[in-house]
Amino acid sequence: MIVKRVLVVGAGAIGGLYAACLARVADVVALDTNRAHVDAMTRHGLRLTGLSDSVAKLAAFAHPAEMGSHWFDAVIFLVKSQATEAAFRSLHPVLEGRPLLITFQNGMGNEELLMRLSDLDVAHGVSFEAARYEGPGHIHHLVHGEESWLGPARGDVAGVTWLGELMTRAGLPTRVVADPRGAIWGKFIFNSVMNPIGAIVQGVNAARYEVPEVRELIDDMAAECVRVAEALGIRLPFDPMYLVKKFRSGQIPLSKHAGSMAQDIEAGRETELESMTGYIVREAKRLGVPVPVAESVYRMAKGVEHAAKAKRGDQ
């Protein structure tokens, strides 16, 4: 069997989880700008704890120039959406083998950007895994979700099938379909609602579920986001808020994880607010769909971002 070579761009929470899992079945290289993280992976491997317990041996680099002459069958982007273009432009030396480009990023617009920047085949998908970056060389696997969805944005299904099979063998069950946009939008709506609200309640997950007014806010905002998807002609294959309903009913125990946006604000990192809730608000305005609740949450989250920066002295 020919071993596939996969480059994971962005080895933080989900990127690190993907890199560690794929290293079981492929030759994986991790690229991440966090030098301490790269050094730890190089010296000790990439450690998974929580739902997964393993140490993956893989090559890791902080900059493409350090990689030397490499070619890859696939390049998976898992950086923040605002970093996609810079990450892609830095990769030109390793794209000569014409790899498949894949985005599993949370924000919208990444596949369109990759298609504008190159003539390579591009695939997009959605993951229902959840993880947390614990520190250099260490990822905590929080949630092992339902199967991922993956499909071509440019190219055909046959050109993507091998990657879906590889991910499934790696322990990340993946469904390959001709058009994954419905599933992508389903998760996107969930993120666009729950992430900014998680940031507004200062990362306290219980506040999203135990405060009646916040529960109503979540439901009203989700309904608006669904209307935007419908206006775009997106058919959702599942209820975007099904996980919320499972938490509320007690089917799933409530965790302390309030979303990546709250974590980013706490850590002083730039959030993906613009490519999540901001994208919803802009598309709603373009389509003429009223989204007063989503717009209010977006505005409040912008204020939370600014306040956090001011407290750190960034302003």
203 shares a domain with 172: no
The pTM for the full model equals 0.90
Give the domain range for residue 127: 5-179
pLDDT of residue 268: 82
Q: Lowest mean pLDDT of 87-101, 117-131, 210-224, name the range.
A: 87-101
Task: For residues 135 and 138, give the distance between their C-alpha atoms in angstroms, rounded to a whole number.
Answer: 5
Q: Do 129 and 24 belong together in one domain?
A: yes
Total domains in the chain come to 2
What value does the mean pLDDT of the chain take?
A: 94
Flag whether pLDDT at 313 surpasses 80.
no
The SS3 call for residue 124 is: strand
Tens of pLDDT along 169-226? 999 999 999 999 999 999 999 999 999 999 999 999 999 999 999 999 999 999 999 9
Cβ partners under 8 Å of residue 307, min gap 6: none
Residue 145 near residue 53, CB atoms below 8 Å:
no
pLDDT tens digits, 26-48: 999 999 999 999 999 999 999 99
172 and 30 in a single domain? The answer is yes
19 and 54 inside one domain: yes
Same domain, 132 and 222: no
Q: Note whether 106 and 175 are same-domain residues.
A: yes
**Which of 150, 179, 208 represents a domain boundary (last residue)?**
179
Shared domain check, 220 and 166: no
Are residues 122 and 200 part of one domain? Answer: no
Look at residue 93 and tell me whether its pLDDT is greater than 90. no
Residues 245 and 155 in one domain: no
* 227 shares its domain with 141: no
**Residues 92 and 195 occupy one common structural domain:** no
CATH of the domain at 103: 3.40.50.720
Sheet of 5-9: strand order equals: 59-61, 27-31, 5-9, 74-77, 100-103, 122-126, 148-154, 174-176
